């Protein structure tokens, strides 16, 4: 996600494309965390928070993905 | 391009709305982190919302030569983009955040100026079109009259599937993910929880034995009494 953030504001076209891949991978991993692992963690009862921070990060990554895509197409 | 901006805006706005309600609750997240997340999502959402409308205006603007009635649509999109910008740039709660992101702020101010110029030209043209037109052409569009955003082209719809070449750089070695101190604390917590787990298991077994003993005794006494 950090790399996607850096790459999408770069002037280099290849880095922008790389940013799309990074944002997509981050979004995929966050969704896996949210739906596969965090869900089970929440259900275990050993938690005191149900804060949707993973939701926020996943949405930010999807936004970043389209931002990289837009920046990449804008130049072309 | 407008549809892509729309998708970006929707995702950033979703993140912003979730964060806004989430951060109302007390949590272990620092105020600095909260502010940064809110700033990032608000500004990006505003930027892409403005860009979506500006891009739609541009899109319909290229077709005015063929169909002059589209000028009303262009004006409506430009007005909407300007309205969003005026709300966003004057929002006191994000003023500080915007001042910290001068590059984005300057870009938004530049877009605002461009939109104002373009709107002035379009309004003049609309008056001329209206005067020339013998037919009653609808030129006054409200925001509510604007068509729904177009769907993203299929090739740009992102499906989150396991990437074939995904390499998890720190897979299997969690020590790399944290500082040495944090790793030691983590290890101590793991050992502590293991020992607690063993104690609980032991207590449970003893309790089960006790239950069985009591049950058997009560059962036997019951029949003896009978």
pLDDT tens per residue, range A41-65: 666 655 555 557 888 999 999 999 9
Given an 8 Å threshold on Cβ–Cβ distance, is A31 in contact with B5? no
Q: Are A72 and A18 in contact (CB under 8 A)?
A: no
Q: Is the pLDDT of residue B124 over 80?
A: yes
Give pLDDT, residue B157. 86
Tell whether B150 and B179 lie within a shared domain.
no
Calculate the alpha carbon distances from B158 to A20, B8, B78 in Å.
10, 12, 29
Given an 8 Å threshold on Cβ–Cβ distance, is A25 in contact with B163? yes
Q: Is residue B166 part of a domain?
A: no
Tell whether B12 and B116 lie within a shared domain.
yes
pLDDT in tens, B129-161: 777 776 555 667 777 777 787 788 888 888 888
Tell whether B114 and B33 lie within a shared domain.
yes
Please tell me the least confidently modeled range out of A63-72, B38-47, B74-83, B129-138: B129-138
Model ipTM value? 0.86
Q: Pick the residue from chain B with its C-alpha nearest to A50.
A: B22
Q: Is residue B163 part of a domain?
A: no
Which chain A residues have any C-beta within 8 angstroms of a chain B C-beta?
A: 21, 24-25, 27-28, 31, 49, 51-53, 55-57, 59-60, 62-63, 65-67, 69-70, 73-74
pLDDT cut 90: percent of chain B above it: 26
Give pLDDT, residue B203. 94
Tell whether B151 and B178 lie within a shared domain.
no
Give pLDDT, residue B146. 79
Q: Pick the residue from chain A with its C-alpha nearest to B103.
A: A9
Give pLDDT, residue B30. 83
Q: Which of A59, A70, A74 lies closest to B18 in CB terms?
A: A59
User: Of B103, B123, B156, which marks where a domain is finished?
Assistant: B156
Given an 8 Å threshold on Cβ–Cβ distance, is B1 in contact with A28? no
Q: Is pLDDT larger for residue B131 or for residue A71?
A: A71
Sequence-distant (≥ 6) Cβ neighbours of residue A66 within 8 angstroms? B4, B5, B7, B8, B11, B48, B156, B158
Q: Is the pLDDT of residue B175 over 80?
A: no
Q: Is the pLDDT of residue B40 over 80?
A: yes
Tell whether B189 and B107 lie within a shared domain.
no
Q: Pick the residue from chain A with its C-alpha nearest to B164.
A: A25
Sequence-distant (≥ 6) Cβ neighbours of residue A54 within 8 angstroms? A30, A33, A34, A38
Given an 8 Å threshold on Cβ–Cβ distance, is A28 in contact with B40? no
Domain housing B218 = 174-225
Give pLDDT, residue B139. 64
Q: Are A69 and B6 in contact (CB under 8 A)?
A: no
Sequence-distant (≥ 6) Cβ neighbours of residue A70 within 8 angstroms? B1, B4, B5, B8, B48, B51
- Cα distance between residue B89 and residue B109, in whole Å: 8
- Mean of pLDDT values over B176-189: 76
């Amino acid at each position: 996600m950090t790399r996607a953030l850096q790459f999408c504001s770069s002037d280099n076209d290849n880095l922008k494309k790389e940013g799309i891949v990074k944002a997509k991978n981050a979004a995929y991993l966050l969704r896996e965390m949210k739906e596969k692992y965090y869900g089970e963690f929440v259900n275990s009862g050993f938690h005191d928070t149900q804060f949707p921070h993973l939701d926020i990060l996943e949405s930010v990554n999807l936004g970043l993905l389209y931002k990289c895509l837009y920046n990449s197409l804008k130049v072309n | 391009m407008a549809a892509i901006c729309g998708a970006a805006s929707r995702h950033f706005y979703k993140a912003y709305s979730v964060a806004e309600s989430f951060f109302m609750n007390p949590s272990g997240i620092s105020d600095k982190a909260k502010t940064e997340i809110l700033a990032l999502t608000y500004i990006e959402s505003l930027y892409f919302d403005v860009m979506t409308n500006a891009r739609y205006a541009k899109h319909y603007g290229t077709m005015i030569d063929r169909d002059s009635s589209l000028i009303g649509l262009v004006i409506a999109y430009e007005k909407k983009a300007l309205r969003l910008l005026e709300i966003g740039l004057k929002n006191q709660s994000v003023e500080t955040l915007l001042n910290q992101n001068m590059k984005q702020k300057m870009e938004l101010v530049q877009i605002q100026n461009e939109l104002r110029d373009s709107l002035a030209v379009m309004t003049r043209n609309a008056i001329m079109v209206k005067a020339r037109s013998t037919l009653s052409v609808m030129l006054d569009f409200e925001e509510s009259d604007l068509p729904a955003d177009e769907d993203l082209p299929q090739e740009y719809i992102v499906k989150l599937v396991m990437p074939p070449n995904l390499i998890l750089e720190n897979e299997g070695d969690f020590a790399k993910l944290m500082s040495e101190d944090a790793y030691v604390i983590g290890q101590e917590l793991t050992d502590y929880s293991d020992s607690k787990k063993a104690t609980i298991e032991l207590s449970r077994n003893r309790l089960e034995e006790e239950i069985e003993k009591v049950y058997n005794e009560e059962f036997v006494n019951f029949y003896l009494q009978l």
